[in-house]
Structure 1
Amino acid sequence: MHNLESDKSRDPLTSCEFFDAQLSSQGWQQVCHQRKDVCASGLLQGIQLVITSPMSRTLQTAVGIFHDEDQPDRLDVTSFPDETDQTQAFNRPPIIEFELCRERLGKYECDKRRSTSQYRSRFPAVDFSLIENEEDILWKANEREPHEDVLARGIKFINWLWTRKEEEIAVVSHGVFLQEAMIQLINTNKCLPLMEHDPRSRFKNCEIRSIIVFS
């Protein structure tokens, strides 16, 4: 919702009206489209784990694409090209919340998260056991997180990924964080982008990129 208003002015981003911004109707359409694509392409079948940022819009995206949940009235994902896609649609990889892959912190109300208990009641399929604090203690009202700190979180997140046993992992996060993480991986020759365009570019809303990451 905040993206629609920020196209007109940056002021709404600091408004409490956009606290922990939800997906817009356009956002749900993008989720629906990506859900169909990951099922039709067979990508969903191989995903072993989904890691998501603890914000409403990323949680909605994660359960919408990978579980077909949360807003069934807005997600028309029952019409797949063939029976194979319908079978793949029932593959629901575990989804875990991880606070390191949040968007750049501070100042903007849209990037302030709710309490963990609120999320648990709304997203019962998501594992919140890795979150350490009930309330958001990382977000600061008058202080925007420096880019170097976002990069440091990205490096820490990548190092954490190495500890996972899963080999095919989907990460649902945010534009600035994902861009900083991608740049770090490319600069250290630790990934092979499986795409034609510049992998260092800013992610579009609900865009999916596939990469191979090396240890």
Structure 2
Amino acid sequence: MDSGSSPSLFPLHRCKTIHLVRHGQGIHNVEGAKNYKKLMKPEYFDAHLTPLGWQQVDNLRKHVHESGLSKRIELVITSPLLRALQTAVGVFGGEGYTDRTDILPLMVANAGYSEHPSISSLNCPPIIAIELCREHLGVHPCDNRRSISDYQFLFPAVDFSLASNWMVNNNWGKN
């Protein structure tokens, strides 16, 4: 029997599609590719996106919008690391943020050394940061993050309720 003609156990209209997106190039990726030991440098703590990383974000954003995928996305889940947050809000955030008292930005201007303008939360899916989406909980400074209160300031419209401060794993102190 042709498996394509048999009824599905779950009707497609009741299924969800999941797309996994890796963050754009971070500052740690550049030096780490040359010498893995350099990932231990403290300046890579919670690494931010490079200019190439932001270009990758812009390219993916353009693809998501041109393909029509942006109209079907119901929720964005991200790691609470800076580079992942920058990627998520850059790809899935709204257009042209202007200062308004009734709408929070997804990302404030220049968040995490980005030299990037604010990103709007208008007309975009909800974004939630979940601790268990982190790639590593390791010893490298780039795999450790800031406190949630720092992120809440940088990314005001992102939901951090499932990323807790007790999970912070770094050598610079607990929050």
Same fold (TM over 0.5): yes
Q: Contact between 1:51 and 1:96, CA under 8 Å: does it hold in 2?
A: yes
TM-score, length basis structure 2? 0.66
Offset, 1:90: 5.7
Pairing 1:96-175 to 2, within 5 Å after superposition: 96-133=128-165, 136=168, 139=169
Q: Which amino acid aligns with 2:53?
A: G
Q: CA-to-partner distance for each residue in 1:88-112, whole Å, 9 max, x for gaps?
A: x963000001011101221111000
- 2:28 alignment partner in structure 1: 2
Match 1:15 to one of 41, 48, 52: 41
Q: Moved runs in structure 1, 4+ residues, more than 6 A?
A: none
How many positions carry a matched residue from both structures?
127
Q: Which has the larger radius of gyration?
A: 2
Offset, 1:135: 6.0
Match 1:48 to one of 74, 82, 90: 74
Query: Structure 1 pair 117/90, CA: closer, same or farther in 2 (3 Å)?
Result: closer
Q: Contact between 1:29 and 1:74, CA under 8 Å: does it hold in 2?
A: no
Q: Which amino acid aligns with 1:40?
A: E
Unaligned runs of 5+ in 1: 76-88, 142-215
Distance in 2 separating the partners of 1:90 and 1:34: 19
Q: Which amino acid aligns with 1:60?
A: Q
Distance in 2 separating the partners of 1:111 and 1:50: 21
Q: Which amino acid aligns with 2:159?
A: D
Unaligned runs of 5+ in 2: 1-26, 95-105
Taking only the aligned residue pairs, the percentage that are identical comes to 51
Match 1:94 to one of 126, 130, 133: 126
Q: CA-to-partner distance for each residue in 1:36-60, whole Å, 9 max, x for gaps?
A: 1100100011000000001000000
Larger helix share, 1 or 2: 1
Secondary structure, counterpart of 2:156 in structure 1 = coil
Q: CA-to-partner distance for each residue in 1:60-93, whole Å, 9 max, x for gaps?
A: 0011000056469658xxxxxxxxxxxxx96300
TM-score, length basis structure 1? 0.54
Match 2:93 to one of 67, 72, 85: 67
